[in-house]
Amino acid sequence: MQKNIIIVLVAVVVFGGGGFYVGMKYDQSKTATASQNRSAQFAGRNGGGQRMAGQNGGFNGGEILSKDDKSITLKLRDGGSKIVFYSASTSVLKNATGTAQDLIIGEQITVAGQANQDGSINAESIQIRPSLPSSPAK
């Protein structure tokens, strides 16, 4: 009788411990997969959220190269450029609400909007950003 109790206790410990270990490994694999899915969601399928946002409209930032009454040409941080179309309904943001006259060549801006098939952007808002001070050389 005692022999049967010992066998049952050993079996419970072995199977309970094994089940616990397998459950922990399963949970770790689910957590890793969920983490990878979140990373892919934020990074985009094209290798980076910044590039994906730029290709699909989203946010684009850079320096104004040229301007007319309906568009600006934006020099991107990666050296490329984008044509950005705006209208009277496009918000131009700065510390105070601005207008299209506040879009000055050489200004740093961030554009949010929808991309067109030709790569240009229809701006929903344009934010004028202050120039960042240069970091001192080390």
Give the per-residue pLDDT at 125. 87
Amino acid at residue number 138: K
Give the domain extent around 102: 57-129
- Chunk the chain into consecutive blocks of 10 residues (it has 138) and report each block's average pLDDT, rounded to whole numbers: 74 72 70 55 42 55 90 89 90 78 87 89 85 56
Q: Is 92 helix (H, G, I), strand (E, B) or coil?
A: strand
What pLDDT is attached to residue 92?
Answer: 84
Q: What is the CATH number of the domain that holds 86?
A: 2.40.50.140
The pLDDT value recorded for residue 72 is 92
Task: Give which of 60, 65, 61 is closest to 106, Cα–Cα.
Answer: 65
- Examine residue 116 and state whether it is found in any structural domain, yes or no: yes
What is the tally of structural domains in the chain? 2
Report which DSSP code applies to 45: T
What's the pTM value of the predicted model, to 2 decimals?
0.42
**Do 70 and 119 belong together in one domain?**
yes
63 lies in the same domain as 39: no
- Of 59, 40, 56, nearest to 48 by C-alpha is 40
The reply to whether 33 falls in a domain is: yes
Return the C-alpha torsion angle 116, 87, 110, 79, nearest 10: 50
